[in-house]
Structure 1
Amino acid sequence: MGKTTLLLGGFFLILFLIIIIRTLTFGDKPPGVIDCDPKDTDFIKAEGDVLENFRKALQFETIARKEHDFNREPMLQYVEFIKSSYPAIHGSPLVTMETVANYSLLYRIEGSQSALTPYLLMAHLDVVPISHETWEAPPFAADIINGFIYGRGTIDDKHMVMGILEALEYLLKKGHRPKRSFYIAFGHDEEVNGIEGAQSIGHILESRGLQFEYIVDEGLTVVDGVINGMEGPVALIGTSEKGYLTLELSVQTQGGHSSMPGKESSIGILANAIARLENSPQPSMFGTGPERGLFEQLAPHMKLGFKTLMSNLWLFSPLVTMVLSWKPSSNAMVRTTTAVTEFHAGIKSNVLAPKATATVNHRVHPGQTLQQVIEHDRYVINDPRVEIRTVKSVEAHPVSPYDTKAKGYQTIKKSIRQVFHKAVVAPGLMIGNTDTKHYLKLSKNIYRFSPTYMYPEDLPRFHGVNERISVKNYEQAINYYYHLMKNSDDMGVPEQHQHSSEL
């Protein structure tokens, strides 16, 4: 007994020492960058025409309601406004612009070194409808209140459209020619699946045999006070995107009069199946997507308790998974989610429903295939009377690289750190969907990041009431794209960017 106790004591002592050592030494300090400063001669300020252009862009009611249903006249006016407001871009011999599907815009900016693989910047022109709740300012007036610009599209995502244009206009006015060619794609119906705009642009680029060094679209943001254990800003770059799978579950019985019911009804059978799905969620996929990289890269910057856990995921992964599963927002990071969204049955109070149907929506983790999700559902339901039919599906996107050799990721990361000072940058998983689904064949390096600074109270503004962005944040967005364009010219993983002397 004494020897066993001694051995166990020695084992736990060694384990404890390993945990402590890893906690104290885990993670590498990223190389320093030269911060973008308002005092720099090449800093782009959000004032004068720069600010007014953005406010005017927000005033176009480019609302998309459903596929093929959007405000066409305001969209056309917005496109014409863009063409007339940026003379350096639209008059430059380096720039080729195409109008695609009547409203979407595709630009090519010719670099001086044709051997370099081009990259692609994306954003979209449309916005979601407004709700009936009262706004603090009219949703299409672009009023400025206490340093914030209010309006639909401020963070989703006309600040990206206009930020890209302002950065490029500035570079061209200074006579700068990029080394690396790049493309800009502005779709006009992203909010309704992009089947006219982004899909058409994707087909055009594929037909031309193009491959991109990297692609960056809207996505995750800079958040402050959102991630437990972190103090200060965290910039999350989406390196993958969840797929989705909509299933119809149905049960067919003979029905009949309610005075002579059988032992089971179609409603009861289906309700039991749904209860089983909700009580047996899809398995944790922690470590098969970018979520492990997220926590490992945040670990050196976390409070001690969190740092200990995240520095030792080799040991604490099951515990971390369990904790993440408690909250819907974090649970969605580690597994395919299951949401029962519709249930239909019954025609009259005294008639047994001959058929019951339900709609189940899965958001599929990149560690699973659609078929694996369906097989799990069949296994859990375990009832051949429940028919499962696929209504709509898209596989989860591949996970793009985010290691130190991933040029696209590191270029975006560096550009973020230069503009969003003190932000810790880490990979993340996009829960929603973007236009990148139409560009998957064009690059293995696809990233999703919106240069938007958000506190917890700002999250409901996304697609919600009182959408807004601070003037400072819009200025950051412009300068982020400026740095991104400059840093992308580097041949390999970018070195430190110097300011005004390069222009």
Structure 2
Amino acid sequence: MWLAVALLREHPENSVTLDSIFATGWVLMLIRVLAVVSLLCGWMPLAVPSASLGAAERLAAAVQIQTVAERPLSDQGATAFAAFHDLLRHSFPRVWALREAVPDAGYSVLYRWPGQQADLAPLILLAHMDVVPVEAATQESWRHPAFSGAIVEDAIWGRGTLDNKASVLAQLEAVDALMAAGFSPRRTILLAHGHDEEIDGRGGAAKIVEYLQARNENAWFTLDEGGAVTRDVIDSVDKPVATIMAGEKGYLSVRLRASGTGGHSSTPSQDTAIFRLANALSALEASPMPRRLIPAVGGLLDALAPEMPWPARFLINNRWLFESILLGQLEKSPTTAALLRTTMAPTLLQAGVKDNVLPNHAEAVLNFRLLPGDTVDDVLEHITTSIADEQISVSVEPGFFSEAPPLSDVDSDAMQVLREAVSTSFPEALVATGIVLATTDNRHYAPVRENGYYFAPFSYTPETATQIHGIDEHIGVQEYLRMIEFYQTLLRLAAG
């Protein structure tokens, strides 16, 4: 349907409005047309949304539109994002009217709901419309087609249901419901929805930030994806844990290039490039970046301690004395170890062209995730000092890299409001803090906010972990409705 709508936009001589499509027999004809077009273009047949359909059906319609992140954006991609905008305009006309034009932001959208008190700093809810592609080889492994938006088994199925169209639509549903109920916010509410987060956010979120900077706007807080309500994820903790993350790690890839004596492999020298590179990697493995317990991770431990067995509880509650032992225990798991330090992972190796030729050069690419407080310069200095070899060059990989944004205050007034909203919507859960190990659009907003937090109001289980960017991504209908309720609760508390 949305492809047909896009085609009508390009050919106005067909003089059929979007509203008349939904209201007349044109629907059946267009479905038949779309069925043929989908076979030719590889698009899935789409459900027909209607102004009377419920929240689950609107999310399902959004999933059916293949807003796959790509740069440069292809014609098919541009058509998909335009169709997605059409869906939002038709489904949420009140909210759509709040849009502000942001220069050069592509298909990213900024909504502004003005507050009564101009002296109060605004709050910003973040989400992104784009999704990662589905690997062709996995298409047949999905229980329901990846872009079907099928509503079966009490769930909505398809790419984007978790990451991150559910947040986009839930925020719009919440604002629309509050507007319909006559709610008038004291504080200005902004919704910032990116179109390229899965790439790097520089064409969307970064442009919105430039726009806000030009207006000298500074938000009270931003809220993006990153935390969730974890269930059956943390050993020895039976209760769900709602993690409101207070920061995210930075991202950096570094190339090491070792030089050595080449020649015939029958007479190898003691100065080969591969051995030199191997020694450098061994040196880095033996001397990781310093570990430390940052406040957001300390808050996580404090929240979990009452639910943990006595030995762990004792160490956490007395970490002023036993911190070294506690950190040593945490380092035994890759996940908890990553909360304590900037991590290093060798991801690419390249050397040689033939089995009997000694290469003159050998290269490795190392990926670092920077703990808040560590900088790119800190990492580069650590590498150079640890290797201590002038015949190995160290260079930052071009393209995407990002400093870790400053850690946000885990005791701020904004955090207390978030805690209250989470406790109201998820009374069964412990509320904790933490940091996001990956990167999000939220990092771009650091220059225009007091604090930035990360929480998507849905359940995160071991099964969920395999579905995000994977196979069988889906969200329960009731789970999605609770997301909408959470955003309504948060906006009433933060802006009421």
TM range (shorter): 0.7 to 0.9
CA distance, structure 2, for counterparts of residue 358 and residue 400 of structure 1: 34
1:349 counterpart = 2:355: yes
CA distance, structure 2, for counterparts of residue 136 and residue 398 of structure 1: 41
Q: Deviations over 1:68-100 (max 9, x none)?
A: 568221111001110111123235xxx343365
CA distance, structure 1, for counterparts of residue 168 and residue 211 of structure 2: 21
Deviates more, 1:96-105 or 1:233-242: 96-105
CA distance, structure 1, for counterparts of residue 358 and residue 476 of structure 2: 57
What is the aligned partner in structure 1 of residue 168 from structure 2?
161
Aligned-partner residue type, residue 288 of structure 1? I
Aligned-partner residue type, residue 290 of structure 2? P
1:102 counterpart = 2:76: no
CA distance, structure 2, for counterparts of residue 421 and residue 470 of structure 1: 19
Aligned-partner residue type, residue 275 of structure 2? G
2:68 pairs, out of 58, 63, 66, with 63
The alpha-carbon distance between structure 1 residues 374 and 114, as it changes in their structure 2 partners (threshold 3 A), is same
What is the aligned partner in structure 2 of residue 383 from structure 1?
389
What is the aligned partner in structure 2 of residue 294 from structure 1?
300
Identity of aligned residues (%): 35
Kindly state the Cα deviation for residue 410 of structure 1 after the two structures are TM-superposed: 1.4
What is the aligned partner in structure 1 of residue 32 from structure 2?
none
CA distance, structure 2, for counterparts of residue 358 and residue 148 of structure 1: 44
Aligned-partner residue type, residue 271 of structure 1? A
CA distance, structure 1, for counterparts of residue 248 and residue 145 of structure 2: 33
Q: Deviations over 1:13-33 (max 9, x none)?
A: xxxxxxxxxxxxxxxxxxxxx
Q: Is the 8 A contact 1:289 1:365 kept in 2?
A: no
1:184 pairs, out of 191, 201, 226, with 191
Q: Deviations over 1:338-357 (max 9, x none)?
A: 10011111122222101111
Could you tell me which runs of 5 or more consecutive residues in structure 1 were left unpaired when the two chains were aligned: 1-46, 491-503
Aligned-partner residue type, residue 59 of structure 1? Q
SS across alignment from 2:365: strand
Q: Is the 8 A contact 1:67 1:193 kept in 2?
A: no
1:119 counterpart = 2:129: no
Deviates more, 1:373-382 or 1:413-422: 373-382
Q: Deviations over 1:303-337 (max 9, x none)?
A: 43332222121122212211221121111111111
RMSD: 1.8
What is the aligned partner in structure 1 of residue 158 from structure 2?
151
1:305 counterpart = 2:311: yes
CA distance, structure 2, for counterparts of residue 65 and residue 48 of structure 1: 31
SS across alignment from 1:379: helix
Q: Deviations over 1:155-193 (max 9, x none)?
A: 101111000000111111112211111111111010000
Q: Is the 8 A contact 1:65 1:129 kept in 2?
A: no
SS across alignment from 1:472: helix
What is the aligned partner in structure 2 of residue 399 from structure 1?
407
CA distance, structure 2, for counterparts of residue 333 and residue 146 of structure 1: 36
The alpha-carbon distance between structure 1 residues 233 and 421, as it changes in their structure 2 partners (threshold 3 A), is same
After TM superposition, the runs of 4+ consecutive aligned structure 1 residues lying more than 4 A away are 66-70
Q: Is the 8 A contact 2:233 2:461 kept in 1?
A: yes
Q: Is the 8 A contact 2:265 2:356 kept in 1?
A: yes
SS across alignment from 1:177: coil
Aligned-partner residue type, residue 107 of structure 1? Y
Aligned-partner residue type, residue 63 of structure 2? L
SS across alignment from 2:458: strand
SS across alignment from 2:348: strand
1:247 counterpart = 2:257: no
Q: Is the 8 A contact 2:243 2:434 kept in 1?
A: yes
Could you tell me which runs of 5 or more consecutive residues in structure 2 were left unpaired when the two chains were aligned: 1-51
What is the aligned partner in structure 1 of residue 132 from structure 2?
128
What is the aligned partner in structure 2 of residue 13 from structure 1?
none
The alpha-carbon distance between structure 1 residues 66 and 324, as it changes in their structure 2 partners (threshold 3 A), is farther
What is the aligned partner in structure 1 of residue 31 from structure 2?
none
Kindly state the Cα deviation for residue 224 of structure 1 after the two structures are TM-superposed: 1.0
SS across alignment from 1:129: coil
What is the aligned partner in structure 2 of residue 265 from structure 1?
272
Q: Deviations over 1:229-271 (max 9, x none)?
A: 3211101111111112211111123422223321121011101
1:227 counterpart = 2:234: yes
What is the aligned partner in structure 2 of residue 15 from structure 1?
none
Q: Is the 8 A contact 1:288 1:367 kept in 2?
A: no
CA distance, structure 2, for counterparts of residue 96 and residue 345 of structure 1: 52
**TM-score normalised to the size of structure 1?**
0.84
Kindly state the Cα deviation for residue 200 of structure 1 after the two structures are TM-superposed: 1.0
What is the aligned partner in structure 2 of residue 339 from structure 1?
345
Kindly state the Cα deviation for residue 67 of structure 1 after the two structures are TM-superposed: 6.0
